[in-house]
Amino acid sequence: MPAPRLSDKRWSIDLEKRIQEEHFADEAKYSARYGFNPNSGKEIFVIDTPPPYPSGTWHIGAVAQYSMIDVIARSQRLIGKEVKFPWGVDRNGINVEFTVEKNTGRKMKTYDRAEFLELCAETIEEFTQSMRDTARRVGLSMDYANEYLTDSPDYRKVTQAIFTELFKQGTIVEDLRPNIYDPVEGTTIADAEVQRLQRMTRLIDVKWQTEDGEELIISTTRPELICACGIVVVHPDDKRYQHLVGKKAMLPLPVDGREVSVEIATHPSVKSEFGSGILMVCSFGDQNDVTVFRELGLAPFQAIDLDGCMTSIAGPFTGMKVKEARDAAIEYLDANGKIDKIVEKEQEVPVSERGKNPVEIILLKEWYVRQTHIQDRISELAEDIEFHPPRNKQFLQDWMDNISIDWPISRRRWYHTEIPVWYADDGAKIIVPPAGIYVQPWCQDPPAGSEVLDRETREILGNFDKLKDSLGEIIGEEKVFDTWMDSSNSNLFVSGYLNDMDTFEKAFPTAIRPQGKEIVRTWLYYTLLKSALLLDKPGFKHVWIDGLGMDPWGRKMSKSLGNGIDADSVLECGAGGRTGSWRVRGPDKSVQLKANKIGSECFRLWKACDAQVGDDFHINPEEIESKYFGVLTKLFNVARFASQFDAPANLDTTPDNLPVEDRWILAEFANTMEKAENAWRGLDIYNATQALKTFGTGILPSHWLEMAKSRLYDGDQEAAWTVHRIVRDFMAALSPVCPFFTHHISSTLYDSSAVDVREFPERTPSDDELRSLTSAIEEFNGNTWRSKKEQGISLNAPVEGIVIPDELSEFTSILTRMHKLE
RNA sequence: GGGCCCGUGGUCUAGCGGUUAUGACACCUCGCUUACACCGAGUUGAUCGUGGGUUCAAUUCCCACCGGGCCCA
């Protein structure tokens, strides 16, 4: 037997790692292979890769999602597109600030700002490195040489330029409004960042009195806010209290610098069955209070300051933290006989997603992106976007239907992009930098070329360089942007906005936004908002929303459930003879999962085959191995078998004397390749991979290879041509899913790599009549094998009495030879 | 409370109005056959969550319910 050119006996994780190392080692070669050339003349396909946020470990579900984004990138290259697959890292944000605070045991605001930023930059860089490694390990064919970081001047200057443009346009405004505020972290947060937690709270029934002495019971969980009470309301249909409407209620706590009584009015938002059915409305206990104040045109009180302490209107409670003030207020009310009863009750408390601190709603001057006016237009623009799967568009629509307030974008934190403005001494003028320069107003003066604008009307008053001396002392803005303000530019940035407008013209709307469904209301929504405001265009041609990686029982993986599986352990499973084992807490008991070998190729194949886009997927290493490693083994061995026969030089020209069985399998192969190509064009990973897997592990080895074997051993050139043509093209078609596997096989056998194919392989000759015989062939082979089995003879033993059906008469000689029919 | 998704052989999964309801893994039986024993071949195994409805026809469409999950309030 001639030696196979594939020398390894089987596919292994060590082999996989060897190929990977070699693949990434030569940077020039890597860039030539996967880099982006906007001037190639090919159709540009820009992928707005989600820039991961570096935090110790990368969730295996996310790694699986990224591997599918890579499949999209590779399959688009395969069908001839010029793909830009950028590698970006999202590094702005409160998370790294928390990490530094935790590591050093010091709160951010006790640091010098520059010193703190330095610590954040160091910390985030450490985390970033491990993500770069994992990205390569799972085979992501990204443009690492042109890595972008959202905390770099290059990226931040784009965010700042977009801000300035929207400000001039009037869609970004500065205003004093009630804001959701985290007093512990000292920053405003957006609606999308609020979470609700169940907590035990005291519900206090406080005795109030009208000015003429009638007693009212009002239930509240926030008695410290009585000083900010603007009105007392009852439901308009509540018969019990109609006589009170129009009267005044005396505040049951002492206050300072404000009226001691408030009006009693009606409002439809009151729930009559809750407590006594009378509600005090304070600025601001919750979102409903905000609504009532706005609707009734009441002037809000500032009861809580930026440190989370009571302001002077709280009288005796001034300066106390909210929680202390609450205790003191209860004590005071109790001492004065103004408490009817106190009930401990479970209640949902709004907290900040990042810090888990109870949030307050307070009046603050902040920056906002106006968004309520443009919802209809975004919906209209979104009609031109193709969603994969279509149903996941609903997540976006649901969120948009619920938007009622503008997006507050300013934050009182540090490791974020700075808001690029300065204020003139008189407070009436504002200075903005020219586009293309990253500025830090908290420590820098406005750069040359800045403009001076009227703070209210945004009218351009002139060039800063000329007006400089008339502006008095210039104060830099200290606030920064919400991180989504940065990340929602990612598609603009990667498509070349501001940096390469020629490419941008060709590349926008960005070809595809792949992402998880959990950030539709933030990342996707804010990006579409930006595209609509800035360019009045849809941000994308395709939006690809994948499901989430779940534990083997279909539950979300989380630290608290103890059901997490680490990505690296799966990718390294089988390397150097080590096996993988995972202790995972199930719904009933802990389960020990074990696997011997997985690696990136098997992992990717599993994700591609096992879950349709958009479906949540269960991650069970045992299952990944048992269902998919065998597929790789099978395909590897088909190729290894082929590799012992020399490949004819002219694989692109079909010989004209092919026997019927070769024409038959080539027709079947053509059909498989057509399915695969159509699926790749339609971004349908599942069906492309399924078609290839079915052919490559089924009909090809089981039926055709068995027929062709003896011819191959006889040195038959047509059989060699057929098997090599199929193996070569098959590897190209599968290369998006298993790049290293197919690269190894194709470069060993054909001296050219499957991952370099930039045009989907030409179809082999098709023949519907021959294809119609496929089931007959399968049935005949099956029957023959069964018959041998029933006779107790081995499959390669001669057999008598088998009759080939008429429809397969063309195959008589090959079937006779294959089964040794006598 | 609202939205979305999912309940198909032991396990996972395909199906998207008419199929002998895919396929994989596991089980069982047989076979060391010049690619593959980490293999091959052949069996066994499903009232398609429950109850209604639409239809000549329902796993597939509609409604209700039950169960699981995710997101949001």
Look up residue A647 and give its DSSP letter: P
Residues 670-729 of A with CB under 7 A from strand B: 697-698, 701-702, 705-706, 709-710, 713
* Measured distance CA(A126)–CA(A10) in Å, rounded: 37
Do A101 and A148 reside in the same domain of the chain?
yes
Q: Is A603 exposed, middle or buried (0-12, 13-18, 19+ CB in 10 A)?
A: buried
Q: How confident is the model at residue A504 (pLDDT cuts 50, 70, 90)?
A: very high
A30-40 average pLDDT score: 95
Please name every residue paired with A202 in a beta bridge, in sequence order, or none if there are none: A344
> Residue A578 is encoded by which pair of tokens?
């080590």
Residue nearest to nucleotide B12 (CA to C1'): A623
Ordered DSSP codes for A303-330: -B-TTSBB-GGGGGGTT-BHHHHHHHHH
| Residue A659: pLDDT band with limits 50, 70, 90 | very high
* Strand B lies under 7 A from the Cβ of residue A310: no
Residue A290: partners with Cβ closer than 8 Å, 6 or more residues away: A178, A283, A284, A361
Residue A697 belongs to a domain with what CATH number? Answer: 1.10.730.10
Q: What is the pLDDT of residues A135-148, one digit of tens each?
A: 999 999 999 999 99
Give strand B nucleotides closer than 7 A to any protein Cβ. Answer: 2-6, 11-15, 24-26, 30-36, 38-43, 68-73
Q: State whether the beta carbon of A811 lies below 7 angstroms from any atom of strand B.
A: no
Q: How many CA atoms lie within 13 A of A528 on its CB side?
A: 30
Is residue A773 in some structural domain? yes
Same-domain pairing of A136 and A198: no
Contact A83, A592 (CB under 8 A): no
In A613-738, where does DSSP find H-type helix?
621-624, 630-642, 660-681, 685-694, 706-713, 717-734
Burial code (b: 16+ CB inside 10 Å, e: under 16) for A68-105 equals bbbbbbbbbbbbebbbbbbbbbbbbbbbbbebbbeeee
Average pLDDT, chain A: 91
Cα A404 from chain centroid (whole Å): 25
Beta bridge partners of A280: A232
Q: Which two tokens stand for residue A31?
A: 């860039």
Q: A94, A354 in Cβ contact below 8 A?
A: yes
C-alpha to C-alpha distance for A400 and A376, rounded to whole angstroms: 9
Confidence category of residue A1, pLDDT binned at 50, 70, 90: low
Q: How does residue A739 score in pLDDT terms, banded at 50, 70 and 90?
A: very high
Q: Is the CB of A336 under 7 A from strand B?
A: no
CATH code for the domain of A488: 3.40.50.620
Band (pLDDT 50/70/90 cuts) for residue A420 is: very high
Closest CA to A97 of A290, A355, A289: A355
Q: How far apart are CA A637 and CA A468, in angstroms?
A: 76
Long-range contacts of A99-102 (CB under 8 A, 24+ apart): A99/A55, A99/A123
Closest CA to A316 of A327, A301, A302, A305: A327
Q: Which residues contact A19 (CB under 8 A, 6 or more apart)?
A: A740, A743, A744
What gap in Å lies between CA A390 and CA A400, rounded to an integer? 17
Please spell the DSSP secondary structure of A406-434, one letter per residue.
-EE-EES-SSSPBP--EE-TTSSEEEEPP
On whether residue A601 sits in a domain, the answer given is no
- List the Cα angle A763/A766/A770 in 5-degree steps: 150
What values do phi and psi take at A44, rounded to 5? -85, 135
Give the nucleotide with minimal C1' distance to the Cα of A9: B36
Q: Do A764 and A800 lie in a common domain? A: yes
Tell whether A258 and A334 lie within a shared domain: yes
pLDDT-above-90 percentage for chain A: 63
**Tokens standing for A356?**
């888990």
- Asked if residue A222 keeps its beta carbon closer than 7 A to nucleic acid strand B, the reply is no
Answer whether residue A197 shows pLDDT above 90: no
Interatomic CA distance for residues A612 and A608, integer angstroms: 8
Nucleotide closest to residue A615 (CA–C1'): B5
Q: Tell me what the mean pLDDT of segment A35-50 comes to.
A: 96
Q: Which residue has the tokens 């090599």?
A: A724
Q: What is the largest CA-CA distance in chain A?
A: 115
Of A243-247, A294-298, A769-773, give the lowest mean pLDDT range: A294-298
Q: Which two tokens stand for residue A178?
A: 């009630």
Q: Work out whether strand A248-250 and strand A172-182 pair parallel, antiparallel, or are unpaired.
A: unpaired
| Strand B, CB < 7 A, residues 83-122 of A | none
The yes-or-no verdict on residue A196 having pLDDT over 80 is no
Report helix, strand or coil for A636.
helix
Task: Say if A624 falls within a structural domain.
Answer: no
Instruction: Assess whether A388 (CB) lies less than 7 A from strand B.
Output: no
Q: Looking at the C1' of nucleotide B23, which residue has the nearest alpha carbon?
A: A694
Residue A451, beta-bridge partner list: A432, A463
Q: Please report the pLDDT score of residue A395 as a whole number.
A: 85
Q: Which domain holds residue A525?
A: 35-152+380-406+481-546
Given the DSSP bridges, would you call strands A261-266 and A229-234 parallel, antiparallel or unpaired? parallel
Instruction: Check whether residue A194 has its CB closer than 7 Å to nucleic acid strand B.
Output: yes
Q: Is residue A492 part of a domain?
A: yes
If one compares A521 and A480, the residue with the highest pLDDT of the two is: A480
The distance (Å) linking the CA of A192 with the C1' of B70 is 17
Given A526, A546, A566, which residue is the final one in a domain?
Answer: A546
Asked whether residue A350 falls in the same domain as residue A390, the answer is no
Residues 342-381 of A with CB under 7 A from strand B: 348
DSSP result, A342-356: EEEEEEEEEEETTT-
Strands A261-266 and A248-250: antiparallel
Give the relative orientation of helices A739-750 and A630-642 as an angle to the nearest 10 degrees: 10
CA to C1' distance (Å), from A297 to B2: 30
Residues 6+ apart with CB under 8 A from A374: A529, A532, A533
Shared-domain flag, residues A270 and A332: yes
pLDDT-derived band at A307, boundaries 50, 70, 90? confident
Q: How far apart are CA A59 and CA A557, in angstroms?
A: 9
Q: Is residue A202 part of a domain?
A: yes
A388 strand-pairing partners = A544
| pLDDT score, position A107 | 87
Specify if A576 maps to a domain.
no
φ/ψ (deg, to 5) at A88: -125, 155
CA–CA dist A788, A786 (Å, integer): 5
Q: A362, A397, A415: which is the final residue of a domain?
A: A362
Going through A150-299 in order, the beta strands assigned E by DSSP cover 172-182, 187-189, 194-210, 215-220, 229-234, 248-250, 261-266, 278-282
What is the number of H-type helices and E-type strands within chain A? 27, 29
C-alpha span between A740 and A743 (Å, rounded): 5
pLDDT digits (tens, 9 = 90+) for A584-630: 887 777 888 889 999 999 999 999 988 778 888 889 999 999 999 99
* CA–C1' nearest nucleotide, residue A700: B35
Alpha-carbon distance A270 to A264, whole Å?
Answer: 13
A322 and A248 share one domain: yes
Tell me how long chain A is. Answer: 822
Nearest nucleotide to A643 by CA–C1' distance?
Answer: B35
- What is the pLDDT at residue A550? 87
Instruction: Tell which residue, A14, A64, A42, has the closest CA to residue A610.
Output: A64
Residue A677 CA to nucleotide B44 C1', Å?
38
State the residue for tokens 């090919």: A42
Nucleotide nearest to A395 (CA to C1'): B4
Q: Stated in angstroms, how far is A391 CA from B16 C1'?
A: 14
Q: Supply the pLDDT for residue A71.
A: 95
Tokens 């929303």 belong to which residue? Answer: A545
Residue nearest to nucleotide B34 (CA to C1'): A1
pLDDT above 60: residue A305: yes
Q: What is the ipTM of this complex?
A: 0.93
Q: What is the CATH number of the domain that holds A325?
A: 3.90.740.10
Point out the residue nearest to B5 (C-alpha to C1'): A615
Q: In terms of domains, do A202 and A278 share one? A: yes
Q: Is the CB of A518 under 7 A from strand B?
A: yes
Instruction: State how far the alpha carbon of A506 is from the alpha carbons of A161, A271, A405, in Å.
Output: 21, 56, 35
For strand B, is any atom closer than 7 Å to the CB of A645? no
Q: Based on the domain organization, do A130 and A73 belong to the same domain?
A: yes
CB of A548 within 7 Å of some strand B atom: yes
List all residues 6 or more positions away from A348 whose beta carbon is below 8 Å from its beta carbon: A196, A197, A198, A199
What integer pLDDT is reported at residue A797 of this predicted model?
Answer: 84
* A134 and A229 housed in the same domain: no
The residue from A362, A393, A422 where one domain ends is: A362
Neighbouring-strand partners of residue A196? A350
Q: Residue A287's pLDDT is what?
A: 77
Average pLDDT over residues A371-378: 91
Residue A327 belongs to a domain: yes
In a domain? residue A424: no
User: What is the C-alpha to C-alpha distance for residues A374 and A680, in angstroms, rounded to an integer?
Assistant: 35
Could you give the angle at the alpha carbon of A694 between the alpha carbons of A691 and A698, nearest 5°? 150
* More confidently predicted of A772 and A533: A533
Query: What is the total count of domains within chain A?
Result: 3
Residue A779 CA, nucleotide B32 C1', distance (Å): 26
State the residue for tokens 């410290």: A224
Q: Which nucleotide is nearest to A614 (CA to C1')?
A: B5
Q: Using 50, 70 and 90 to split pLDDT, how confident is the model at A25? A: very high
- Tell whether A718 and A810 lie within a shared domain: yes
Q: At A160, which amino acid appears? A: Q
pLDDT at A600: 95
Q: Residues of A from 9 to 28 whose C-beta is within 7 A of strand B: which are they?
A: 9-10
SS3 A554: coil
Whether the beta carbon of A152 falls within 7 A of nucleic chain B: the reply is: no
Residues A384 and A340 both lie in one domain: no
Q: Token match 């009606």: residue? A: A266
